């Protein structure tokens, strides 16, 4: 059954106004040899109830954290999201709001984004955060473009311990010829001793991830200090923002920009998105920020109000003057982060981060005691760590997935570590029973 909203009379009237005699005339510019000659081979139409049933059957074919026990992280984390987050997001006045072009009509959206900015700046130890980016990888790439403009130096030193997909996005944005690898040491951390050798006059940016892709907590302060000595800027990136409930914030340690992923702060896995890019800077860099910045002011009556203070993007200013071609922000995701952080509070965030760390240490010790399992890196980690198995990690992943356990990521697929290395992540969603199952399976 098909549904066409217009009557024959209405179609004839529209064609008359356009100035053509038939609908086919609208396609006259399409060459004859590429036009469809027969009806598409589509299945019969379905009722609403039938469509819902079909979609439910398709959804059941997906493996989720509800149907399988997952120890996968590597940039996307299965944290518990309080029901209140989505309950508030579903309010029509938030859910349908897009871009606050008219501040007099958008005070609720603007205030929510202002609160988001304040919380993110505090979390990352920075002076100012923008009203969000698309996700972590492009936020990092935008940060490198920004530091390159500020320093007028093209080269970017990027740690090999930065998420490999983030590195790929950086290569797309900046060009692979501008990226120079900072190697890792045997501890699983970025090799600080190599930094001085690679910091020449063309290097304007140093990028380090902490916790890095292997879960190791990096010495961000040392990299920031060394970068500044040679006139370069330091960008600290991250995939697990929850870690800053426990470890020192990048801004406090001297980073010029903090740019990474905020998915773990109130957003579900959702098969890869939408996620949210957190982006915060020190005061001298504010005017070069991509995206938009919400500010607080007073109106003509002296009442507190909110407005779009900075929007250095193509839709607002001349393209040649734009600092970024980012065309929107993740407003609804930013609201989810703001609600989540408001609910959990600073003390709750610290307790949750500590719990994640402690639980990961429990599992790490337990697995390291298994025959044939070792810990290749001795450096401190947050809630992710690498174990080296007795055999190829990709085969272990395949075997355990068939038993309903996703044990982690075989990192050799990204050119990192040994073929037997498995990256394992622990969050508060995993139980002692899950630990038992993984340990028994690996044993």
Report the CATH number that the domain containing residue 302 is assigned in CATH. 3.40.640.10
| Dist CA 376 CA 385 (whole Å) | 10
Around Cβ 143, how many Cβ atoms within 10 Å? 32
Domain range holding 87? 83-341
Convert the pLDDT of each residue in 258-315 to its tens digit: 999 999 999 999 999 999 999 999 999 999 998 889 999 999 999 999 998 887 655 5
Which residues, in sequence order, are bridge partners of residue 304? 298
Average pLDDT over residues 200-212: 97
Say whether both 326 and 211 belong to one domain: yes
Q: Work out the mean pLDDT of the chain and round it to a whole number.
A: 93
Same domain assignment for residues 74 and 110 = no
Residue 321 forms part of a structural domain? yes
The pLDDT score that the predictor gives to residue 35 is: 87
**Short-list 220, 245, 244, CA closest to 234:** 220
Average confidence (pLDDT) over 394-421: 95
Give the total number of structural domains in the chain.
Answer: 2
Q: Taking a C-beta distance cutoff of 8 angstroms, is the pair 203, 234 a contact?
A: no
Residues 214 and 123 in one domain: yes
Of the residues 341, 369, 396, the one at which a domain ends = 341
Tokens of 359: 């639980």
Q: Do you know the residue count of the chain?
A: 443
Same domain, yes or no: 192 and 333: yes
pLDDT cut 70: percent of the chain above it: 94
- C-alpha triplet 428, 443, 163: angle, nearest 5°: 50
Q: What is the pLDDT of residue 320?
A: 62
Residue 28: half-sphere exposure toward Cβ, Cα within 13 Å: 6
Q: Is the domain of 322 the same as that of 369?
A: no
With 80 as the cut, is the pLDDT of residue 101 above it? no
Could you tell me if residue 41 is inside a domain? Answer: no
Which residue bears the tokens 């492009």? Answer: 138
Find the mean pLDDT for residues 199-216.
97
Other beta carbons within 10 angstroms of residue 402's beta carbon come to 8
| pLDDT tens column, 108-146 | 889 999 999 999 999 999 999 999 999 999 999 999 999
Q: Which range among 220-224, 230-234, 270-274 shows the weakest confidence by mean pLDDT?
A: 270-274
Residue 385 shares a structural domain with residue 279: no
End residue of a domain, out of 341, 361, 391: 341
187's tokens? 């501890």
Higher pLDDT, 94 or 162: 162
Could you give the CA distance from residue 219 to residue 192 in angstroms, rounded to a whole number? 9
Cβ atoms of residues 305 and 124 within 8 Å: no
Cβ-proximal residues to 81 (8 Å cutoff; 6+ apart), any chain: 266, 267, 268, 340
Question: What is the DSSP annotation of 328-367?
Answer: ---HHHHHHHHHHHHHHHHHHHHHHHHHHHHHHHHHHHHH
């Amino acid at each position: 059954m098909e549904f066409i909203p217009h009557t024959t009379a209405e179609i004839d009237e529209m064609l008359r106004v356009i100035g053509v005699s038939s609908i086919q005339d609208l396609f006259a510019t399409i060459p004859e040899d590429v036009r469809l000659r027969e009806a598409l081979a589509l299945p019969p139409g379905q009722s609403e109830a039938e469509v819902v049933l079909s979609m439910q059957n398709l959804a059941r074919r997906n493996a989720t954290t509800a149907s399988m026990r997952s120890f996968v992280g590597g940039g996307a984390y299965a944290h518990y999201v309080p029901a209140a987050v989505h309950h508030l997001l579903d309010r029509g006045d938030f859910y349908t709001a897009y871009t606050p072009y008219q501040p007099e009509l958008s005070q609720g959206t603007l205030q929510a984004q202002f609160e988001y900015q304040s919380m993110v700046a505090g979390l990352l130890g920075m002076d100012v955060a923008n009203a969000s980016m698309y996700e972590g990888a492009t936020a990092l790439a935008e940060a490198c473009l920004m530091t390159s403009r500020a320093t007028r130096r093209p080269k970017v030193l990027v740690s090999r311990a930065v998420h490999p997909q983030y590195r790929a996005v950086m290569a797309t944005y900046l060009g692979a010829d501008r990226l120079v690898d900072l190697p890792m040491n045997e501890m699983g951390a970025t090799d600080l001793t190599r930094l001085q050798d690679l910091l020449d006059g063309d290097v304007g940016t140093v990028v380090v991830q902490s916790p890095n892709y292997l879960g190791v907590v990096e010495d961000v302060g040392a990299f920031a200090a060394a970068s500044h000595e040679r006139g370069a800027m330091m960008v600290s990136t991250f995939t697990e923002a929850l870690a800053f409930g426990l470890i020192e914030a990048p801004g406090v340690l001297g980073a010029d920009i903090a740019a990474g992923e905020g998915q773990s702060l109130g957003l579900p896995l959702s098969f890869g998105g939408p996620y949210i890019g957190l982006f915060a800077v020190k005061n001298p860099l504010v005017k070069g920020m991509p995206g938009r910045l919400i500010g607080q002011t007073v109106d003509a009556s002296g009442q507190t109000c909110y407005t779009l203070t900075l929007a250095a993007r193509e839709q607002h200013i001349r393209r040649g003057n734009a600092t970024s071609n980012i065309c929107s922000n993740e407003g609804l995701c930013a609201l989810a982060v703001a609600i989540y952080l408001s609910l959990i509070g600073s003390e709750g965030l610290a307790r949750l981060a500590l719990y994640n760390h402690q639980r990961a240490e429990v599992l790490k010790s337990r697995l390291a005691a298994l025959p044939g399992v070792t810990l290749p890196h001795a450096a401190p980690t947050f809630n992710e760590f690498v174990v080296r198995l007795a055999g190829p990690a990709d085969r272990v992943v395949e075997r355990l997935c068939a038993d309903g356990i996703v044990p982690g990521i075989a990192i050799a697929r990204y050119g990192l570590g040994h073929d037997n290395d498995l990256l394992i992540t622990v969050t508060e969603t995993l139980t002692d029973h899950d630990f038992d199952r993984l340990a028994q399976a690996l044993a």
